[in-house]
Structure 1
Amino acid sequence: MTTETDTRAGTHLYALVQHFYARQMQALDEGRFEEYAATFTEDGTFQHTPGTEPARTRAGIVAELHAFHERFRDDPVQRRHYFNQIVLDPQDDGSYRSTVYALIVRIRQGERPEIWPSCVVHDVLVVDGDEVLMRSRTVSYDQLPAQ
């Protein structure tokens, strides 16, 4: 049975995680890759491209993001990441498994925005008081076959 205290703690955690994701995604969308990487634990992993090895450590995540975005150097595209339907499941080690639906909107000046891609984001979050850090992130794309 859920007590009132459990509900308040759950609500606080949910709001804390939403705020964490909002700041994290705005850093990514604005190209502040060091700030984005700082939301991971020192030994964090990040896999956003299926079939590739995940980037490891904050420095590795920054390098991966710079390399990825270099491909778009001559393409004036803006991306906005929208996270919704957050489900938080406690793990035995005290971390939380977070499963999130994500839509990425691509915008080019003078064109209509397009949603591409639609994803499911699988994170492991470490919460210490009001601090949230990400231990790992794996992104799966709805348009690709399940891996």
Structure 2
Amino acid sequence: MTITPRTHDEGTATAVDAVAVERFYAQHMQLLDDGDAVAWARTFTEDASFTTPSMTEPVRGRDDIESGGRAAVAGRAEAGEVHRHWVTMTTLRPAADGADALSYVEILVTPRRGVPRIEPFCVMRDRLVRRGDALLVAERVITRDDRPHG
């Protein structure tokens, strides 16, 4: 049985699109969690933007996104923590060149010889675009329920 996910509007996304997006997020987050900020940054377009509640301004461009990824990887290593991003509950709204995706994200943080904890829950809104056979993030906006929305 194939379940076709609902989208933000009243249409539907095809099962193939949903599977492609699920695979994209699995690979995308595993790259970051494994510490490969360079490969992770390549899953963004050259002119992508990335916004989180902890930043005063969006990060713009793949190079700056890579720098932020490297800093995050270094910070986790210095803290002796392993992070695992779990993207779930993704809904899609198909677009001409990709899709708008809304997902819930949990981050499981495991300190060396410590007790795992879940970081505050995030909502991730992505504009995904197709470039050849690949999906790339053109825009990412992350919000958290415990922080005011911009």
TM-score (norm 1): 0.84
Q: For residues 24-64 of structure 1, give each alpha carbon's deviation from its aligned partner in whole angstroms, at most 9, with x where no partner exists.
A: 00011111111111001111111234442122111111112
1:29 aligned to 2:33? Answer: yes
Change (3 A) 1:145 1:63: same
The equivalent residue for 2:145 is 142
Where 1:117 maps in the other structure, the secondary structure is coil
Moved more, 53-62 or 14-23: 53-62
Give the percent of matched residue pairs that are identical in Structure 1 and Structure 2.
32
Distance 1:56 1:146, change over 3 A: closer
Post-superposition Cα deviations, 1:127-147, rounded to whole Å, max 9, x if no partner, equal: 256421110111111221233
Q: Which amino acid in 2 is paired with 1:41?
A: T
Displacement of 1:98: 0.5
Of 101, 122, 127, which residue of structure 1 is paired with 2:125?
A: 122
Q: Partner amino acid for 2:116?
A: P
Give the direction of change, closer, same or farther, for the CA distance of 1:12–1:116 in structure 2 (3 Å limit): same
Scaled by the length of structure 2, the TM-score of the pair is 0.83
Where 1:74 maps in the other structure, the secondary structure is helix
CA-atom RMSD, angstroms?
2.2
Rounded to whole Å, the distance in 1 between the matches of 2:58 and 2:142 is: 10
In structure 2, stretches of 5+ residues that fail to align are 5-10
The 5-angstrom pairing of residues 81-96 of structure 1 reads: 81-91=85-95, 93-96=96-99
